[in-house]
């Protein structure tokens, strides 16, 4: 009996995922949304070149959790590939939508009112959240005047943080050029002051990266920073796995100027966004 129940649940999950359909024409999706009284979930993606986009689809949109709530939305995928064939007409339309909704990084997810086309939810990038965490964020957006006002304030705060991050990032770059680790460390501390949870691990990880860039002989201190980062990941393999790999490189002397932070998880310093295709 237990085996039959598990088989049934497995087949039900496959069926649910199979019913998730993404449209590629935003106007047609709006019409469907009006008819069905549903909002639109629009995915601006670079499906064949953008690692966070690919990870978002794998972790969230390919999950059973998403399949269970997908019917609440009319789903739209607006793709900006670099290698996949795409007609000039589709490219032109997608570029128009990108400009209309001021999408300048991928992935960007918008929740739209089907009738008015107004945005009431917006999530940029993908930082390795679980499907539940990501879907809870989408569910927090409300298609009400109060919800739209809250989104506007959230976007303003995000713009302010981004501007501050760019300034601090330039200070960090200047400190690296001057081989002044203390100055770089101070700017890093300020940059990550409001980060909480396992994501705080990115701070000591970047300290280790920058320390090795400035002083390749400072392996012992760099390893201490990496160990601090690993302790903060609390079992988060999205961060832990690349951290461990980097630690091994430092310990073995295989690297003296490490590469960028893990894609889709730890931001670079300074943080930057993938721009339009």
pLDDT per residue as tens digits for the range 25-38: 999 999 999 999 99
Give the pLDDT score at 80: 97
pLDDT band at 255 (very low <50, low <70, confident <90, very high): low
Q: Where are the domains of the chain?
A: 2-143, 166-252
**Predicted TM-score (pTM) of this structure:** 0.62
Q: What's the CATH number of domain 2-143, 3.40.30.10, 3.30.2020.30, 3.40.630.30, 3.10.100.10?
A: 3.40.30.10
Give the pLDDT score at 194: 82
pLDDT per residue as tens digits for the range 173-222: 999 999 999 999 999 999 988 887 777 899 999 999 999 999 999 999 99
pLDDT per residue as tens digits for the range 116-150: 999 999 999 998 889 999 999 999 999 999 999 99
SS3 of the chain: the string is CHHHHHHHHHHHHHHHHHCCCEECCHHHHHHHHHHHCCCEEEEEECCCCCHHHHHHHHHHHCCHHHHHHHHHCEEEEEECCCCCCCCHHHHHHHHHHHHHCCCCCCCEEEEECCCCCCEEEEEECCCCCCHHHHHHHHHHCCCCHHHHHHHHHHHHHHHHHHHHHHHHHHHHHHHHHCCCHHHHHHHHHHHCCCCCHHHHHHHHHHHHHHHHHHCCCCHHHHHHHHHHHHHHHCCCHHHHHHHHHHHHHHHHCCCCCCCCCCCCCCCCCCCCCCCCC
């Amino acid at each position: 009996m237990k085996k039959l129940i598990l088989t049934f649940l497995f087949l039900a999950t496959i069926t649910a995922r199979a019913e998730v359909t993404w449209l590629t024409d935003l106007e047609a999706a709006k019409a469907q949304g009006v008819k069905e009284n549903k909002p639109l979930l629009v995915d601006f993606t670079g499906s064949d070149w953008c690692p966070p986009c690919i990870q978002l689809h794998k972790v969230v949109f390919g999950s059973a959790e998403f399949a269970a709530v997908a019917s609440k939305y009319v789903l739209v995928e607006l793709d900006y590939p670099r290698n996949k064939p795409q007609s000039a007409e589709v490219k032109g339309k997608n570029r128009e939508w990108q400009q209309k909704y001021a999408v300048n990084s991928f992935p960007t997810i918008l929740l739209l009112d089907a009738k008015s086309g107004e945005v009431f939810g917006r999530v940029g990038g993908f930082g390795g959240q679980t499907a539940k965490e990501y879907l809870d964020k989408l569910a927090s957006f409300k298609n009400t005047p109060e919800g739209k006002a809250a989104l506007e304030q959230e976007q303003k705060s995000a713009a302010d943080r981004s501007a501050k991050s760019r300034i601090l990032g330039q200070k960090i770059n200047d400190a690296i050029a001057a081989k002044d680790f203390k100055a770089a460390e101070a700017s890093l501390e300020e940059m990550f002051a409001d980060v909480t949870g396992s994501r705080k691990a990115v701070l000591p990880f970047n300290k280790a990266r920058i320390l090795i860039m400035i002083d390749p002989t400072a392996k012992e201190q760099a390893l201490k920073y990496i160990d601090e980062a690993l302790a903060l990941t609390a079992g988060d393999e999205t961060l832990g796995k690349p951290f461990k790999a980097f630690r091994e490189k430092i310990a073995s002397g295989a690297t003296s100027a490490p590469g960028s932070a893990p894609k889709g998880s730890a931001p670079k310093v300074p943080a930057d966004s993938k721009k339009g295709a």
